[in-house]
Structure formats: structure tokens, C-alpha cells
Copies of this chain bind each other. A is one copy, B any other.
């Protein structure tokens, strides 16, 4: 236990911490009452003469005064703090949004503090309780927890403005900033189609709602465009590198494998590119890969990943705006903002073998046969 009692700090001469000055001490030094100091330091207009203001401010500076957030928050109705509760900071997308929130908050007059709930629903609730107990003026929930559906009632009763980001839920009881997954998948499929791909595979996951949604959208979009999706062209894996690698192997290990794969997540896509490199499968010559998210790593792979970009920065900006505008403060109107993704074309996609050129190139059949031998 860390505990710095007055006794301790008195009995030890060196090695002790200086006490932080209080407003009352500033007032004493300035020769005014604590009330007056409070008026000056919290900037209430037309209460204190200019001369007195100066004196108080000088005293505060001299003592290196810093208001006690706890006392201020306890008495007043706000702390000037916003909280972020993150599902798992190691997920790149979550990290990107968190960073944008942390950096953007000062611009709207807040300080931002972040906590991580890992994968534990109980921890999440404890943290939410912590922030809600007047520590923060608002909470941003970034990412989603598996099996958190049961929690929404609690969230709704959080008693504090709340915005959910990177969440797949459609009818949340709190304000939210969402991505138009439909449009994103459509961009990716259109791109692959325009390159000449007809057989497009999909590697996704059923564990997280937001990701699962993309799989559903994928089927819908493909059907929409008159493209056939065989059951074996869609595989669900864990959201991890191993999952991505396994997905690739599964997909290509079957007869008549797709010529292009859409991954639900850049993590999966990067893992697939890596696995392809291990197996000497040429990307994009033998297989085109499209990711989803556009995390920083996506442009560091070889070849750089073509992917659907989520506007992470804008997520943060919009969420912050919802706090300042009060849209997050109402439990009545569950406002949601839906942002549009864009396609970033890099080098992991190309026309399928034999699509446009009919020179001496390998026929798709041959290509398939080669793939099979590489996967065995």
C-alpha cells in the first residue's frame, strides 16, 4: 500500500514529498479570504477587483498552486475529465481511435484518461462504475466485448453521457459513432470485380458483433451483384494471427479456391500475407487480398495491403463533438453518426491470372494445382 501520511513526511527530512499548497494558503499569502481566491482562480467575472486578482494570481504562481481536482469535482458538477474504456488496447484499430481521442480531447477543453477492460466483463463494469462516480464527465466505449449484450442495461443506467465507438450493435441505448460496413464491403467487392475476380473468398469471425456484421454484409453484397458465394468460400476464424493463417490455408486448401480474399480485419489480412509469404504463394499474382481497417501496419507488409480505410481520426472527432454538443448526454434520443469508409488501393490486389492476358500465362487450372501443392 502506498500511503503518505503527514507523520511520515514530517519525520523524514530528506526523501519526503513536499505538500501541495491549497487554495487557502494562496489566499493567506495574498492577504485575502479563501473565497476571494476561489473567485479569482476559477475566473468568476465581476467579483474581484483587478488589483486583488493580480495579487492572488501572483501568490498562486509563487506557491506553484494547482487546484485539487478531487475537491473541485466533489463540490462542482464536473471534473473536466473524459474517460475512455477500451476493450483491448492491443487491437490496432482500438489503439488508433484511442490515440485520436487522447490527442483530440484537449482541443475541446477536456483531459482524457483511458482504462482497459481487457476481455473481462466484470472489470469493465468496475471501471465504468469508477468513472461514473463523478470522476469523469463522460465515457467513450471503444471496441466491444464478447458477450457484453447483457451489459447494455447497465450502460444505459450509467448516469453519465456515453458514446460507443467501433461497435457493431445497431440499437444501442447510448450515442454511437459507427462505420458504414455495408459501403466498405461494397467498395472492396467492387474493386475486386473491376479487376476481374469472380470467385471471392471471405475470412471473418463470429466472435465480435461488429466483425460478424461484415460477413453478413459480404454475402448480401455478393448476392446483390449476382456473384455466387459457395459455403466453402467463407470461413470464420479467431481474430488473431493464427486465425488469419488458418483461414488462408482452409480457403485455398479446397478445390477451386477463390482468386481473391476479403479479410474482415487488417490483422487477419496481414497474417494471411505473411502466411502466403511463408508458403511462397505470390501476392497478388496468385491471390489478391483485401483488408479492412487500414491500420498503420497495413502499409508495412509486403506487398502493401489494399484495404478499406476506417476514418479513425474522425471517429474520435465526432465522438468528442457528441460530448460537447450534448448529443451524448441524453438517454432519450440515441443519436448515431455513421461514417463512410474509403478504399485504399495498394499492391496486394491485381487482376487474376489469365483474366485479361491470354498469352503464355499459366491457366487458372494450373495455378490452382500449384496452390494445392504449396499448401500440402
Interface residues of A (CB under 8 A from B): 1-5, 12, 14-20, 66-71, 73-74, 77-79, 83, 89-90, 95, 98-99, 102-103, 106, 109, 111-116, 118, 123, 126-127, 129-130, 132-135, 137-138, 157-161, 241, 270-271, 273-274, 277-278, 296-297, 300-302, 323-324, 326, 328-333
In whole angstroms, how far apart are the Cα atoms of A123 and B300 in the complex? 31
Q: Which of B103, B116, B130 is close to A99, meaning CB atoms less than 8 Å apart?
A: B116
User: In the bound complex, what is the Cα–Cα distance between A180 and B70 (angstroms)?
Assistant: 39
- Nearest CB to that of A138 among chain B residues? B2
Contact across chains for B3 and A77 when beta carbons are under 8 A apart: yes
Contact yes or no, B161 A2, CB < 8 A: yes
A selection of 6 A-B contacts at a CB cut-off of 8 Å is A1-B324, A17-B160, A83-B113, A111-B130, A274-B302, A297-B297
- Do the beta carbons of A69 and B106 come within 8 Å of each other? no
On chain B, the residues within 8 Å of A330 by CB distance are: 15
This chain's copy number in the assembly? 2
Please give the distance in Å from A123's CB to the nearest CB on chain B. Answer: 7
Q: Is the CB of A69 within 8 A of B135?
A: yes
Cα distance A70–B356 when bound, in Å?
68
Contact across chains for B134 and A106 when beta carbons are under 8 A apart: no
With a CB–CB cut-off of 8 A, which chain B residues contact A159?
17-20
- Assembly CA distance A213 to B95 (angstroms): 28
Out of B5, B98, B132, name the residue touching A20 (CB < 8 Å). Answer: B132
A5 proximity list for chain B (CB < 8 A): 77
Indicate which residue in B1, B114, B241 contacts A114 across the interface (CB closer than 8 Å).
B114
A110 to B, closest residue via Cβ: B2
State the CA gap A67–B133 with chains docked (Å). Answer: 7
Contacts of A241 in B (CB 8 A): 300
- Asked if B302 contacts A70 (CB within 8 A), the reply is no
Which of B3, B78, B102, B300 lies in contact with A297, CB distance below 8 A? B300
User: Which B residue sits closest to A118, measured CB to CB?
Assistant: B103
- A333: contacting residue among B15, B111, B161, B326, CB under 8 A: B15
A133 touches B68 (CB 8 A): yes
- Cα of A326 to Cα of B138 in the assembled complex, Å: 33
B134 near A111: Cβ-Cβ < 8 Å: no
Q: Which residues of B have CB within 8 Å of A273?
A: 302
Among B68, B89, B160, B271, point to the contact of A74 (Cβ < 8 A): B68
Give chain B residues whose Cβ lies under 8 Å from the Cβ of A19. Answer: 159
User: A331, B17: Cβ atoms under 8 Å?
Assistant: yes
Given contacts A112-B115, A115-B112, A302-B277, contact A133 B4 (CB under 8 A): no
- Report how far A323 CA is from B2 CA in the complex, Å: 7
Cβ contacts under 8 Å, A95 to chain B? 89-90, 95
Extra inter-chain contacts (17) besides given A2-B161, A90-B99, A297-B297, CB under 8 Å: A1-B109, A4-B77, A4-B329, A12-B332, A18-B159, A67-B133, A68-B134, A70-B73, A70-B74, A89-B98, A99-B116, A103-B116, A106-B123, A113-B115, A114-B115, A271-B300, A302-B302
Q: How far is the CA of A112 from the CA of B90 in the complex (A)?
A: 16
Q: Chain B residues near A331 (CB, 8 Å)?
A: 14-17
